[in-house]
A and B are shown apart, each in its own frame.
Chain A
Amino acid sequence: MGGYTPATPDDQAEMLAAIGVASIEELFEQIPPEVRLDRPLELDPGLSESEVFDQLEYLASQNISTDRVSSFLGAGMYDHYVPAIVDAITSRSEFLTPYTPYQPEVSQGGLQVMFEFQTAMSELTGLPVANAGLYEGPSAAASAAYLAMGATGRSELVVSRGLHPHSRETLATHAAGFGASIIEVGLEDGLTDPDQLLTAVSEQTAAVFLQNPNFLGAVEDITALGEAVKAAGALLVVAVDPMTLGILRPPGECGADIAYGEGQPLGNRLDFGGPSFGFFCAAERFIRKMPGRIAGETTDLDGRRGFVLTLQTREQHIRREKATSNICTAQALNALAAMVHLAWLGKRGFIELGELLVRRTAFARERLRGIDGLELLHDAPVVREFAVRSNRYPVADLLARAGSDLHPGEPGIQVYPLGRDYPEYEDAFLVAITEKRSPIEIEGLAEDLELSLEDLASTRDSGSPSRNGGSR
């Protein structure tokens, strides 16, 4: 403890004398005795730095992380390579340790990063107005709903079943607060069913939520789906994976009023789900209704260019109960990581990375569809993730390499079982590709699946009971 607090006994005595009290306890006398804690906290005694490190290193070693296995897990967060300069820049204390830039004269670095980040996200999504970041993807969906309800005066949300399950669940949680009702539109051959969408959208609809690529990895025709939304006077809200926007038509060009998404693929580590950031972009007319922080350009007393937090009258610290959101953090450091990553990729590299994802994903999809016992869940176009059905054995058995003595003690195959979130696809899983998954690793995945299928077949043939891990 001593290491973080400088006050020596002499310092303390001097300070107490100056205050005019005999002990620190006297300062706490304002806490009524009936609520004073009259015992020490029941926590272990403090440890040395090396002990803390050892304990946490041990816990870290208990995890099967993507540095130890070839992981094809995606489903909203992706194992991209984070360039070395991202860590070098985000670990600088000037970016790491300040608070929100409430004093702009000494926060120009952070404010400029926000301004650059807003520019980059606006370029990616094709929408003119971007904020400086939200907590993460799914809660950004709730911010979009709130904006749409305020802008249209309506309270019905139409949500595609292709939207990330966490986003749908988060929307439902928040909707209970702001009084929205939700209508879900199903999928047909991997894509949002246009007929169901047409039936669901009405003059009560505040917004329609689509995701592109959707949770099954399929690329939606946003422009076509959006026509019905526009006709009904509702807002079109599109969730996007930023890493696909070098390839896919940006939501702003497809008629979206709002685009949001999970920013993790840009420069952020997996971190078991956070911290990362959410981004939020909108059409010009919503500039004064945006959630979260926004940096703007201005000049100082001497005419020099500078940046400030702007349009703050939207924000909770000025407008309080009339604010457009309660959000009080912009995930600024995570947005910086994204900006550095995007600058590193650059205009050309961003497209090349997108093309690489498309090609390797096409390769992986072809390889897996050729395996006896597997088939594709849908034939829709994909960029970086696709859904595969196991038509012979339960997914859990397949992934755990049921009964396998081929790889004793090793973790199972790392893909995302769809049955966790979609009972109707209990027999399917998602395979995600990044630039870190080489063609050799993709071949390895295919071989692992083949071996697992063979192993299951021989176990069945020999009459041994299959492990019943299939239902969940």
Chain B
Amino acid sequence: MKGAATETPQQADRAVTIFEKSVPGRRAAQLPAAGVEEDTPIAELIPGHLLRETPAELPEVSEPEIVRHYNRISRRNFDLDTGFYPLGSCTMKYNPRVNERVASLPGFAALHPGTSADDAQGALEVMFLLQSSLSEICGLPHVSLQPSAGSQGELTGLLLARAYHADQGRNPGKVLTPDTAHGTNPASVTMAGYEVVKVATDSEGGVDLEDLRSKIDDDVACLMLTNPNTLGVFDRNITEIARLAHECGALLYYDGANLNAVMGQTRPGDMGFDIVHVNLHKSFSQPHGGGGPGAGPIAVSDRVEPYLPRPQVVFEVTEGGLLKFDLDFDRPRSIGRVRGFQGNFGVFVRSLAYILSLGGDGLAEASRLAVLNANYLKKRLSEGRAGRYLPVAFDRHCMHEFVLSGAAMKRELGLRTTDLAKRLLDFGFHPPTVYFPLLVEEALMVEPVETEPKEQLDGFAEAIERILEEAESDPEIARQAPYSTPVRRLDEVAATRKPVIRQQR
């Protein structure tokens, strides 16, 4: 395996951009003729000083070259459909292909967002059904599908909190987030104009109640939590935390990144949360697309409802007893829009298809099996060398993910978590999340999800065992890894120092 001298076939295939493949005069597109007066110079239709003089240097390539180019570089990507992807906090579950098929139906894919409600009844019904389903899953009565991603859902939630407090004649300035929070939480807090105040984690992996009590007061607008949290631990004190927050008038915000662990088992609304965002691309199986698209609907309690973004999907019952759906723009206390049109509708179709496929029992079963897989893999990794060099950070039954600490591995073998991650690539696995949560030294965050078979989990545990065994005799192997990938370790510092972020002309 340690074969730095021999190039893999993928490495021999050097990176060349589509711009570099350009040859003057080549083209792919065949456009229709305008079919109207074509002799008038454009400058007679639009004043010359408003026109472009230098053409954009787009590639000049034929269609077969484009197809070959992108198919070729696609092979330089690791993907969920061909390999195990236990990326903690990211919930990489299988994406059923029927979801793609239904989302591609022309009645959805070719539907213009400016179409009148009368002409978009099916689409509005999709949105309404998804809203109702998410409402039941979250245990909160109202849902807005508008936010484009979890992070936009967070920002939306915080703007809702701002509007809610303003209506009470209050203007609290702080938002509390645990030190284990996702990076988007503090970023969203700042974007919403609030001050971030961190809350410590206790020895059990939950919110430190003493620290919380010392920091919570009536200047707190909101407490942002996820439960289970990013350590994979369910916070047993959630009822007390909710009481403390509500007692001083704060709202409780649930980061739904970890919802996959608890579907049908417990509901954020039942835990006392007022606002929840749901990452449809995580728990409800939208493919991640290499970084999007996704969607981040929010579910809220009654007292937050008036402030939800405009428009909302509503319905009336017609004389014949049928439902007629509409978009309600008349929401005087709404915070307004957080984006254009109706949200990432194509994602809604996929998520609804997933919910219809599984049903209530199936969603609950998905969570049960995600938790079973995580605890099984955690158990496997607590044995042998993994148990010695990579102990679990908070060792109790976990939910859908767990965090290992590579501190001992670093100390005893001289390997950092990133070295282990890079070596895993040579074994054909996508590594777990590294260096998050920040609280755990040399963190490695593993989330196996419910769609992976036991053999896969065993294979992953065995690969880690082998890497650690190998490192006992020669840590340099992992420190120089990977060897088999399209490129070897990349110089990220050089990329930042003198950024080259576009093809030079």
* A446 on the B face (CB < 8 A): no
B106 & A67 in contact (Cβ 8 Å cutoff): yes
Task: Report the separation of the CA atoms of residues A328 and B75 in the bound assembly, to the nearest whole angstrom.
Answer: 25
- Known contacts: A273-B340, A345-B58. The answer to whether A327 contacts B151 by CB under 8 A is yes
Determine the chain A residues whose CB is within 8 A of the CB of B71 once the complex forms: 89, 92
> Cβ of B15 and Cβ of A4 under 8 Å apart?
no
Asked if B151 and A316 make an inter-chain contact with CB atoms under 8 angstroms apart, the answer reads: yes
- The reply on B496 being an interface residue by CB < 8 A is yes
B288 x A97 contact (CB < 8 A): yes
Q: A52: shortest Cβ distance to chain B, in Å? A: 5
CB–CB B74/A106 < 8 A: no
- The answer to whether A349 has its CB under 8 Å from any CB of chain B is yes
A316 close to B192 (CB less than 8 A): no
Tell me if B450 is interfacial: C-beta within 8 Å of chain A.
yes
Give the residues in chain B near A116, CB-CB below 8 Å.
17-19, 503
A36 / chain B contacts, CB cutoff of 8 Å? 265-266
Residues of A with C-beta under 8 A to B85: 98-99
Among B133-155, those with CB < 8 Å from A are 133, 136-137, 139, 148-152, 154-155
Smallest beta-carbon distance B133→chain A, Å: 6
Contact of A112 among B15, B114, B502 (CB under 8 A): B15
Nearest residue (CB) in A for B120 is: A63
Q: Is B238 an interface residue (CB 8 A)?
A: yes
Closest to A139 in B: B339
| Complex CA–CA separation, A15 to B452 (angstroms) | 13
Q: Provided the pairs A43-B133, A46-B356, A94-B77 are in contact, do residues A299 and B490 lie with their beta carbons within 8 angstroms?
A: yes
- Residue in A27, A323, A350 whose beta carbon sits within 8 Å of that of B372 in the complex: A27
When the two chains form their complex, are residues A296 and B368 in contact, meaning their CB atoms are under 8 A apart? no
B333 near A: Cβ within 8 Å? no
CA distance A61 to B471 in the complex (A): 60
A37, A76, A298: the one contacting B266 at CB < 8 Å is A37
Beta-carbon contact of B151 and A332 below 8 Å: no
Stretch at the interface among A305-313, A369-377, A454-462: A305-313
- A316 B503 Cβ-Cβ under 8 A: no
Q: How far is the CA of A1 from the CA of B158 in the complex (A)?
A: 36
A329 and B346 contact, CB distance less than 8 A: no
Instruction: Find residues 252-305 in chain A having any chain B CB closer than 8 Å to their own CB.
Output: 253, 262, 269-275, 277, 287, 293-302, 304-305
Residues of A with C-beta under 8 A to B489: 105, 300-301
Given contacts A52-B98, A105-B485, A138-B337, contact A296 B110 (CB under 8 A): no
User: Which residue of chain B lies nearest to A219 when distances are taken between CB atoms in the complex?
Assistant: B50
Residue from the list B121, B341, B487 in contact with A300, Cβ < 8 A: B487
Q: Which of B37, B98, B266, B488 contacts A302 (CB 8 A)?
A: B488
Asked if A99 contacts B90 (CB within 8 A), the reply is yes
Within 8 A of A (CB), among B1-50: 4, 11, 14-15, 17-19, 22, 26-29, 31-32, 34-38, 40, 42, 45-47, 49-50
Among A193-201, A226-234, A333-341, the stretch that binds chain B is A333-341
Return A381 CB to nearest CB of chain B, in Å. Answer: 4
Tell me whether A360 and B35 are in contact (CB under 8 A).
yes
What's the minimum C-beta distance from B503 to chain A, rounded to whole angstroms? 4
B303 within 8 A of A: no
Q: Is A468 an interface residue (CB 8 A)?
A: no
The reply to whether B347 and A108 contact each other, CB–CB distance below 8 Å, is: no
| A452 CA / B442 CA spacing, docked (Å) | 71
Closest Cβ of chain A to B371, distance in Å, is: 5
Question: Given the complex of chains A and B, what is the CA–CA distance between A40 and B18 in angstroms?
Answer: 53
In the assembled complex, the Cα of A336 lies from the Cα of B428 at a distance in Å of 25
Whole-angstrom CA separation of A350 from B495 in the bound complex = 31
Contact of B74 among A109, A115, A356 (CB under 8 A): A109
Known: A89-B71, A96-B79. A40 touches B361 (CB 8 A): yes
Measured CB to CB, the nearest residue on chain A to B431 is A103
Q: Measured between C-beta atoms, what is the minimum distance from A202 to chain B in Å?
A: 23
Q: Which B residue's beta carbon lies closest to that of A117? A: B502
Query: In angstroms, how far is the closest chain A Cβ from the Cβ of B497?
Result: 10
**Pair B162/A176 contact, Cβ less than 8 Å:** yes
Given contacts A4-B451, A18-B379, contact A139 B152 (CB under 8 A): yes
Q: With A37-B264, A123-B57, A346-B26 as given contacts, are A308 and B239 in contact (CB-CB < 8 Å)?
A: no
A344 within 8 A of B: yes
Q: Are B335 and A173 in contact (CB under 8 A)?
A: yes
Known: A35-B239, A344-B28. A45 touches B361 (CB 8 A): yes
Pick the residue among B28, B264, B288, B342 that contacts A274 (CB under 8 A). Answer: B342
Q: From B58, B59, B111, give the contact of A272 (CB < 8 A).
A: B111
For B151, what are the chain A residues with a Cβ–Cβ distance below 8 Å? 316, 326-329
Closest 5 interchain pairs by CB? A60-B107, A273-B341, A62-B122, A333-B289, A273-B113
29 pairs, A vs B, C-beta closer than 8 Å: A7-B369, A28-B368, A31-B265, A46-B362, A47-B359, A60-B122, A63-B107, A65-B110, A68-B106, A89-B71, A97-B287, A102-B87, A103-B421, A105-B482, A115-B502, A174-B155, A177-B192, A246-B55, A272-B108, A274-B346, A305-B15, A307-B490, A317-B183, A325-B191, A329-B292, A332-B292, A333-B287, A347-B55, A439-B34
